[in-house]
Amino acid sequence: MYDTIIVGAGSAGCVLANRLTEDPSRRVLLLEAGPRDTHLWIHVPLGYGRLFTKSEVNWGYESEPEPALNGRRVFTPRGKVLGGSSSINGLVYIRGQPEDFDGWGIPGWGFADLLPYFKKAENQHRGADDWHGTGGPLEVADLPDKHELCDAFIASAERLGIPRNDDFNGARQEGTGYYQATACRGRRCSTATGYLRPAEKRANLTVRTGALVTRIVFEGKRAVGVECQGKIFTGREVILSGGAFNSPQLLQLSGVGPGELLQRHGIPMVHDLPGVGEDLQDHFYARTFWRCSRPITLNDDMLSLWRKAGMLANYVFRKKGPLTISAGYAAAFVRTRPELERPDAQIYFINFSTAKRGGVLHTHSGFTCAVSQLQVESRGSVRIKSADPTVQPAIRYNYLSSENDRRVMVEGLKVARKICTTAPMRDYVAGEYYPGEKVKSDEDWLAFCREVGETVFHPTSTCRMGKVVDSRLRVLGLTNLRVVDASVMPSVPSGNINAAVIAVAEKAADLLREEACGR
């Protein structure tokens, strides 16, 4: 008998394992379907590109055919390893905008309520202030090197009226500058390294890897444990932290979800809860590629044996150089219409280019300028396709189903092109490699999005507060069962979501502590 069973050792699960075991009287079991985070490329920041394929550390999901994307399926990496997606993501540290959390409309979950948890989680290398904290488990730091291409991108954005911003997680998100990353001394800081590693020294925490949970065990409407590898583990409370795909999948497999869906797959009904797996949101993303007029890109480094050797030496001995780059180097958070009160598009800039993410770099000097929308309107779903827990669920993003989502993508890509063709950036441009000058009209840009757009790995909202869980993250209509991960967010925040998931888990741990004190 455990006090708490946590299913999923990802961004949220590792936070909970750490914070809950600070109470030595609480026995916690943490179950993770994947292996330990020993894979070399997990810990090298630029190594995220080596982790995109389906493997022992990546669920490697694929969406159903997307109607708005010409019927294409979208490859969807998710972490299957200690640290979850925080072990394979692009390391970019972005919290979102205060209006995102205030807009959830859930008492206790506004930005003022979450800011203390953002700060508590953080060990900000710039030091503490009104917006940032130090001493937390999550290392947050500037990238070790500047780059002249990034400097040119930022200068051109400023010339177009986009203000310089050296802290996207401070008083305002709008502007252009360099990203910060969840890294320290040249190594990734996942929740496994930041939160779980210290907690594993505690006698009251048990961690099992290679442990796929196949169902939640109920007595009536009360969760009493989980089944894993043919064994039953019992606990006073079960917490699902499998993320926006796996948490609703496990609920549905366990008899909690839309009644018609469960009946279709022959799953005995425990609780008819139609919202489970609905309302999926994600940021849509499209990349443009540019030829660089000077041999200063990572593409060039990879073409030269001597430059590759120098890059490796720079990383090993100085913890600097291209191997410390995150999935974004510089950025611009922009308003695609001047009358908007806050940014609605995120522009990523990085000093290399590749036709396939995680694939071989182009053989010419090149860089990438990509766009995603921030306040998403389109919603999809996650539904089991089988009663077999090893069969991936049906993921339907339903991208571009909103007129505004389509407009933001088109206008954001036009802004990205303006930046790249404005001095000083245009002095580095030898040509627009893709999509090229053939794309001119709004219709052309939208067709381009349908042809190449994909996920930027920020799925949320499939067990959202108010429809599946209450404001204390308890599953509605059931007892001793919670969900704590990105799926509980009513809508996706504006930007990369890992920081927000960690803050949600920090707050959830406090809610659990409050209840323990009240018993």
Which one is catalytic: 39, 147, 271, 458?
458
* Bridging pattern class, strands 28-31 and 2-7: parallel
- Supply the angle between the helices 148-159 and 403-420 in degrees, to the nearest 10: 110
Q: Is 458 among the residues known to form the active site?
A: yes
Separation CA 42–CA 412 (nearest Å): 31
The phi, psi pair for 291, rounded to 5°, reads: -80, 135
100-126 residues labelled b (16+ CB within 10 A) or e (exposed): bbebbebeebbbeebbebbbbbbbbee
State CA 342 to chain mean position distance: 21
226 forms beta bridges with 216, 233
Rounded Cα distance between 346 and 495, Å, is 7
Q: Tell me which long-range contacts 165-172 makes (C-beta under 8 A, separation of at least 24).
A: 165/333, 167/131, 168/94, 168/331, 168/333, 168/495, 169/93, 169/94, 169/95, 169/118, 169/131, 169/132, 169/499, 170/131, 170/132, 171/131
Determine how many CB atoms are found less than 10 A away from the CB of residue 163.
13
Name 53's Cβ contacts closer than 8 Å, sequence gap at least 6: 60, 358
Which residues, in sequence order, are CB contacts of 30 under 8 Å at separation 6+? 6, 9, 13, 14, 17, 196, 205, 206, 207, 208
Number of other residues whose CB lies within 10 A of the CB of residue 179: 24
Query: Would you please indicate which residues are annotated as catalytic (active-site) residues?
Result: 458
